[in-house]
Amino acid sequence: MAWRAWARSGWGCGGPAWGAPGAEGRELCVDRAPALLLGPRFNFFIQSKNGFRKAPRKTEPRRPDGGVINGSYRRSALTPPVEETLFYTSPYPLRNLVKPLVFTVGFTGCAFGSAAIWQYESLKSRVQSYFDAVKADWLDSLAPQKEGSFRKQINKWWNTLSDGQRTVTGIIAANVFVFCLWRVPSLQRSMVKYFTSNPASKALCSPMLLSTFSHFSLLHMAANMYVLWSFSTSIVSILGKEQFLAVYLSAGVISTFVSYVSKVATGRFGPSLGASGAIMTVLAAVCTKIPEGKLAIIFLPMFTFTAGNALKAIIAMDTAGMILGWKFFDHAAHLGGALFGIWYITYGHELIWKNREPLVKIWHEMRTNSPKKGGGSE
């Protein structure tokens, strides 16, 4: 799940530093950061009666980690290293939401438009793919078989997967790749800037998508990818692989935008990362479509419950966490993803996907009227 921790110390935040148990790399408390970070100001010092000026009070910047122990900073392995990263806030925080809002709407439209065109191209090439498959089978029958080869074992495993599992394999591979990038020390500044989402950061739009593929903790990534793999067959059978990818990518951006709004509204800024928002959309969509389906917890398979009840419990927990200010998870992103999944299955599929015909028609006319390679036209 997307993780958030906070350090409420330094710069007048009040109280000792604290955060989630076992967490490290606490974010910098910026809601009451020094004015030096917010813009220029004039400092006036009143001269005392004895003719000496009062020395300006020095403000020591605090690193956004868990605090100081014996003069050294500590950080756990669950959170990204943000101790040297400063986040700049605007005197008009609502303005920080304008670009993310435009990016969310634009990216969502592009995602569904690309998915519609992709589906058109897939259907158009299906006949050619059929003949290619027949030709490949004929060539395999002539070529000598390599018994026990590694490639043959991989192909055999791949053919046993469902369409949904094949579709999410690329997503899982991307998450593993980004997880490995977190292990490169020279890249950590860039990773914090572009692969964690924070409305107080200078980079606002690209992290809304990139943070969906970002995990700093192995346990965090493993849990999210397991849930995605478990629901992949159901969601792809409901939506198809093209529509599923559009929903998944859009859900990552939309859930991050909801997180932005929550952070600006509460003034609790800090970086978030993880695929939880998008995965909550997948889970909510399946549970809404199949409310009577039976689910179980991996470590407690003897206890089962309906998908509808599970969805209600998750929404209730995230709503309470957002209202009460629980900080271990980004509950706003979870709630935003779940609500988007419910809305899309209930209304969005009819409003968006079933109205893609005009776009596909325009694309078809562009393809049929495009000149051939030899200079002619179709």
pLDDT per position as a tens digit, 286-295: 999 999 988 8
Supply the pLDDT for residue 371. 62
Q: Is residue 228 part of a domain?
A: yes
Sign of the four-CA dihedral 196, 197, 201, 202: positive
- Residue-wise pLDDT tens digits, 173-225: 999 999 999 999 999 899 999 999 999 888 999 999 999 999 999 999 999 99
| CATH code (residue 340) | 1.20.1540.10
- Residue-wise pLDDT tens digits, 85-99: 444 455 556 788 999
Q: Give the chain's largest Cα–Cα span.
A: 103
Query: Where does the chain show beta strands of DSSP type E?
Result: 68-69, 72-73, 294-297, 300-306
- CB-based contact 265:320 (threshold 8 Å): no
**Euclidean distance between CA atoms 350 and 368, whole angstroms:** 28
The closest of 229, 10, 212, 192 to 83, measured between CA atoms, is: 192
Distances (CA, A) of 31 to 10, 38, 65, 149, 200: 11, 10, 16, 59, 9
Q: Is residue 124 part of a domain?
A: no
CA 157 to chain centre: 29
Q: Is residue 196 part of a domain?
A: yes
Residue 334 annotated to the active site: yes
Residue 276 annotated to the active site: yes
Residue 368 amino acid letter: T
Residue 274 vs residue 77, higher pLDDT: 274
- Residue-wise pLDDT tens digits, 110-148: 999 999 999 998 888 876 666 666 555 555 555 555 555
Supply the pLDDT for residue 17. 40
Supply the pLDDT for residue 48. 40
Q: Is residue 58 part of a domain?
A: no
Q: Which domain holds residue 266?
A: 157-355
148-155 average pLDDT score: 77
H or E element: which one contains 164?
Answer: helix 163-181
H or E element: which one contains 14?
Answer: none
For residue 276, pLDDT over 90 is answered with yes
- CB-based contact 224:215 (threshold 8 Å): yes
- Rounded to a whole number of angstroms, the distance between the first and last alpha carbons of the chain is 51
The closest of 211, 343, 227 to 283, measured between CA atoms, is: 227
Q: Is residue 115 part of a domain?
A: no
- CB-based contact 170:229 (threshold 8 Å): no
For residue 361, pLDDT over 60 is answered with yes
Sign of the four-CA dihedral 137, 142, 147, 149: negative
Catalytic residue selected from 162, 334, 349, 364: 334
| Claim: this prediction has a pTM higher than 0.75 | no
Residue 152 vs residue 164, higher pLDDT: 164
pLDDT confidence bin for 370, thresholds 50/70/90: low
Split into its structural domains, the chain has a count of 1
CA dihedral angle for residue 342, residue 332, residue 98, residue 112, rounded to 10 degrees: -30
Supply the pLDDT for residue 137. 56
Q: Is residue 126 part of a domain?
A: no
Q: Is residue 86 part of a domain?
A: no
Q: Is residue 129 part of a domain?
A: no
Catalytic residue selected from 255, 276, 364, 377: 276
